[in-house]
Amino acid sequence: MPLPARLLALPLLLLLSACASARTPWVELGGERFKVEIADDDDERARGLMFRDVLDPGHGMLFIHDRQERQAYWMKNTRIPLDILYFDQDRRLVSQQRDVPPCSAGDRCPPYPSRGPARYVLELNAGEAARLKLEDGAELRFGPGIAPAPGG
């Protein structure tokens, strides 16, 4: 490719890259942004982060539930230690389960319940909640493209 064409191609590639990044869903918590995968149906919520060997730094999974109620998550077939953060319909932190260990015991894996009703659950790498010094009441902000659950 001739030099002038290459110079024109570079800004185009940068623009396309920026557009792709803008479409990646993200949430903001504790003043930091995390790229998230969305689990908003029964199959996605059931699968969660099972069978994964790594969760990249700055990434997580956001679970969106149909109703606000007490939630309980478990680590069945999950290989990554996680922080499980529960948020109400106003996206305020209502409960935290920090440094939850992986579990390979199948149906014998223990549940990690929320202390109060929750509508959203954010799973991050273990240690993130402590690093961010999260306290109950912290606000979870959604980036563009993440629709709040109806009524939330």
Q: Pinpoint the alpha helices (H) of the chain.
A: 3-23, 42-47, 128-131
**pLDDT tens for each residue of 89-120:** 999 999 999 999 999 999 999 999 999 999 99
How many CB atoms lie under 10 A from the CB of residue 84? 25
Q: Where are the domains of the chain?
A: 26-142
- Please give the model's pTM, rounded to 2 decimal places: 0.84
Closest CA to 104 of 73, 78, 74: 78
Class of domain 26-142: mainly beta
According to the model, what pLDDT value does residue 152 have? Answer: 61
pLDDT tens-digit series, residues 46-55 = 999 999 999 9
